[in-house]
Structure formats: C-alpha cells, structure tokens
Amino acid sequence: MSQHLLTICYLIGSVTFILGLKMLSNPASARKGNLVAAGGMTIAILGTIFLYSYQEDNTTHYLGNHIWIFVALVIGSVVGTLAAKKVKMTAMPEMVSLFNGMGGACAALISIVEFNHFSKEATHDASSSKALIILLGLVIGSVSFAGSMIAWGKLNGKIKDLSFKGQNILNLLVLALALGCTASLIMNPYQGMMLYVILSLSIVYGIFFVMPIGGADMPVVISLLNSFTGVAAACGGFLYDNKVMLTGGILVGAAGTLLTILMCKAMNRSLKNVLIGSFGGNAKVASGGSSAQGHHKEISMSDAAVVMSYANKVMIVPGYGLAVAQAQHTCHELEKILVEKGVEVKYAIHPVAGRMPGHMNVLLAEADVSYDLLLEMEQANDEFSTTDVVLILGANDVVNPAAKSDPSSPIYGMPILDVELAKNVIVNKRSMKPGYAGIENDLFYRPKTSMLFGDAKKVLQDLCAEIKSH
C-alpha cells in the first residue's frame, strides 16, 4: 500500500515540475509556478521519508533516522531561506552558481556512496550499466560543482581569469584521463581508490574548464553548468528508479541545454567558441580607445531632463550598472513621471544583459515594472528608429556597434540593440572604462551620444527631480 502511495506522490511531483516550468514562461504566472513546483517537491520528499521501503532478508524495511533527516532539512531550509532573503539582486548570479554547485556536489556524493555499496556487492556478473550510471553521476556532478564554484568566485570578483598556452589541450587530456579511469573502473569495480582518482580528475577538469572563460560568457557558462547538474540528478533518478528525481533532472538538463543554445544564438557564437574562446577573459581593449575614437560629449542633468520631458517616446536599456546601484525602483519612478507627462516609455532587454539569463527581467519585475513594457531585442530594434531618446543605464557590450562594424572585434557578429538608430542616445556610466568584456565601445563617441556620468541610482533620482520641475 505504501509503495502505491509513494508512486502517487512521485507522479504528483513530476506533474507539478512540468506545470511549474510551463508557468515560469509567463511573468504573470511565474511566481505561482515556482510555488506549484516547490509544493510538488515537498510532497515527493515527505513521501520518500515516510513511505519508501525496501526488502531485505524477506523483511520490509522503511527509512529510519527521521530525527537526523529532519534536522538536516531544517538546517538547509533555514540557511537557504536566509540566504535568499538577504542576497542583493546584483549577487543573484553568484547565488545561482553557488546553489547549482551544491546540486552537483550532492549528485557526486550520492555516486560515491552508491559505488561503495555496489563494489561490495559486485560479482563478475554485476551490471556494468549500473556502474556506468553511478560514475557518470560522479564525473558530471563533480565537474558541475567545481565549475560552479569557480564561476561563483569569478562573478563576485574573488577569482581572476586564468589562461595559458596549451590550456585547452591540457583540459582535454584531463577529461580523457578521467573517462579512461571511469572505463577501467566499470570493467573492474574492485579498484576502490580509482573512484577517488576519477573524483579528483573531474574536479580539476571543472576548475580548468571555467578558469579561462571571461566575463562576457559567464551567463552561458552558468546555464551550461546548470544543465550538467540536471543530468547528474537524472543519473541518480535512474540509479534509484526514482521517477520524480529522474523527471526533475531531465527537465533541468533539457532546459539548461536549450537556454545555453539560445544564448549562444543570441551572441552569434558557437558553444565551442564560448568554451575555448576565452572571450572577456584577460581581454585587452579591442576596439580602440578614447584617443583613437575622438572625444566623448557630456550632457548636463538639466539638458537630459528637458530632452526626455519633451520626447514622444523614450526607450530605457537596463544593464549591470542599474543592478549594481540597486536603481530599479528609481528607474520605475522615472518611467511613471515620464508617462504622466505623456511620454511613451518602454524597456529594451538584450538576452545576455547582466550576469545571468533573465537578470534584467527579474530586476525590473522586482520593481513592479509591467512586463508588457519589456521588449525583447528584435522588438526593440524595430522601434529604435521611431524613438526620440534612448537612456542606457550601465549596459555596454550589448549596445556596442563594433559587433556590426569591426571584424577585428571579439564580439563581431553578435546581435546587439541598435540604439544608434534613435534620435538621441544618453549613456549613464560611472566612467569611460570598458565593460565586462573589456572592449572599448565606439557608441560613446558617436555624434548622437551624450554621456551622463554617475551612480545610476543618484543620476535617476536627480533626473526625476529635474523632470518634475519642468
């Protein structure tokens, strides 16, 4: 009876995962979808704790150690809740990397425990497919854990990019060695120490895999590592014949893979180029500099307020500078003030703006900006030619014309927001330093462009005050 109830719990969990993921595609239902999936996960976890059973020596056994299990659940829930509540939106990419790494570590630990059980019970006729699943979970989970930790360190500035001649060859050799050891252990599961050799090689590969990848490609790397964790979790689902674990892992792996492909398409780059190109890592200024481009033009706060107050349409392009300044609420206030004056205001969102997929969407949603005002890149590019003023808030590489005009630029061919088509372009930055990818932006020296220097929040607050006075 308990097994039938557990099957129903797993079925509910699997269905809620699929429904939750579907609901996440629409901002209006995203929050509800998250709660639906979380509810299904809770049902699956409680079902496993109280209903799971196995046969041993003609006796039915249930999970014990409930006190330890619930102590661990409470500790994890408290730590996770506090971390999620305290984290700033600018640090959300780091948090995603950290949590994703924990998922990979869990998959790797499961593989270590299960292989120890497997090797003790293994005979010469033991299933090699089971050993393969266990070791795949170990390799993929370890790579995801190590890579995610490096990504976390690079996103918060604690770890610098590292690349050297022959690094890609070394990476391939380490991976080949790890896979070779895996094949050897499958054929002879009694080589106990070989398991830890595979673990060590996988961690080394995960570190070297992410170390040379630069800032501009971090969103793609986070998405790819997320798919790795999903695949590792799916291996655990196969191992335990756990339908909900299998479904969740496949959904995460498939969604992460598709998102990675879509982001590469948005950057007009292949995944191979992302992984071995080191774009943004130790990058030099690739597109001239202020001396080569000429002089930039500044605009006063008063003039910027006048231009925006009397515009028919204003397009706001949010970037990481907006997130750093925690200026999303002030930006929404500016939008409302302009709308009250009869100005049409919309937001242009580049798919890889910020430090993670959907970073700008989440940031603006937090400030209650209507999703209907957020235009994807293709939609925004169709409207720039009829826009009077584009206000760029901390975005850099996603508006760089070098992507279209400079074949020598590392971002050449990458689709960008065509902000230069607007009548006036106002760029808010702290300074003239290059963006996250380390590439100079020719847009800042164009005749239509005016620079408005300062912290995004302070600048927007002053703009709001000036516009109100007109």
What is the b/e burial string over 192-217, where b = at least 16 CB atoms within 10 angstroms of the residue's CB? eebbebbbebbbbbbbbbbbbbbbbb
Report d(CA 151, CA 218) in Å as an integer. 7
Report d(CA 43, CA 13) in Å as an integer. 7
- Spatial contact of 235 and 136, defined as CB atoms under 8 Å apart: yes
Report d(CA 280, CA 152) in Å as an integer. 16
Residue from 241, 303, 397, 406 carrying the catalytic annotation: 397
Report d(CA 171, CA 173) in Å as an integer. 5
- Spatial contact of 61 and 54, defined as CB atoms under 8 Å apart: yes
Residues, the chain: 470
Report d(CA 38, CA 414) in Å as an integer. 37
Residues 6+ apart with CB under 8 A from 408: 286, 287
| Amino acid type, 85 | K
What is the b/e burial string over 87-122, where b = at least 16 CB atoms within 10 angstroms of the residue's CB? eebbbbbbbbbbbbbbbbbbbbebbbebbeebbeeb
- Count of other CB atoms within 10 angstroms of residue 399: 26
Residue 65 zone, left/alpha/beta (φ > 0; ψ -120 to 50; rest): left
- Spatial contact of 155 and 94, defined as CB atoms under 8 Å apart: yes
Whether the CA torsion 69, 70, 75, 80 is positive or negative: it is: positive
Please tell me the chain's helix, strand, coil percentages from 3-state DSSP, rounded to the nearest 5. 65, 10, 25
DSSP string, 406-469: -TTSTTTT-----GGGSSEEEEEESSS---TT----GGGGSTTEEEEES-HHHHHHHHHHHHHH
Tokens of 223: 């998405």
Nearest to 100 by CA among 240, 272, 231, 247: 231
Q: Is 397 considered catalytic here?
A: yes
Radius of gyration from C-alpha coordinates of the chain: 26
Identify the three-state secondary structure at position 59.
strand
Q: Looking at residue 298, what DSSP letter applies? A: B
Catalytic residue annotation: 397
